[in-house]
Structure 1
Amino acid sequence: MNTEKIHDTKVHCPHCGHNIHLDVDLSEEQQNYDDECRACGGVIYLRLYRDAGDDRFHLQISSDDEQYY
């Protein structure tokens, strides 16, 4: 893991709505993973991808894992 590509990102928990900080690894252009909300303990599913149209990273956040199936 390249520590220069790790970025602190503030997101809203889809379960409780609290702002939480996550470390996002931008070394790969497409990733699916889950993390836990530090406020409520709910599982947060994340999809990180680089859009070819604007060449920027986008982070989708979900409270369930239906997007993976």
Structure 2
Amino acid sequence: MNQLSEKTIECPYCGETLEVLIDPVDAGQQYIEDCQVCCKPINFVVTETMDGDLTVSVFSDDEAF
């Protein structure tokens, strides 16, 4: 069974620090989730390191990723 990973991100719009849960099946995926504070759409890019750890990068709509 896959375990969810808790990651800390910073909203690219309001700068608020947020805790998000990432599913390992999302590795290699890109998706949009609204900020829990300012409600703006955050672009998430989930990758997996060689060690099997998940990393999350977040971008605003006007940033290239």
TM-score (norm 1): 0.72
Give the number of the structure whose residues are more often helix, by fraction. Answer: 1
C-alpha contact (below 8 Å) 1:12/1:18 kept by paired residues:
yes
Name the CA shift for 1:50/1:57 in 2 (closer, same or farther; >3 Å). same
Gaps spanning 5+ residues in structure 1: where?
A: none
Q: 1:36 aligns with which of 34, 37, 44?
A: 34
For residues 10-34 of structure 1, the C-alpha deviation after alignment (integer angstroms, 9 at most, x for no partner) is 2110000011121111124311111
Q: Distance in 2 between matches of 1:28 and 1:8?
A: 13
Aligned to 2:23: 25
How many residue pairs align between the two structures?
A: 64
Q: Distance in 2 between matches of 1:9 and 1:58?
A: 8
Gaps spanning 5+ residues in structure 2: where?
A: none
Which residue identity lines up with residue 57 of structure 2 in the other structure?
A: Q
C-alpha contact (below 8 Å) 2:11/2:17 kept by paired residues:
yes
How many percent identity over aligned positions? 20
Aligned to 1:15: 13
By relative contact order (CA 8 Å, sep 6+), the higher-ranking structure is 2
Q: Distance in 2 between matches of 1:42 and 1:62?
A: 11
Aligned CA-pair RMSD: 2.0
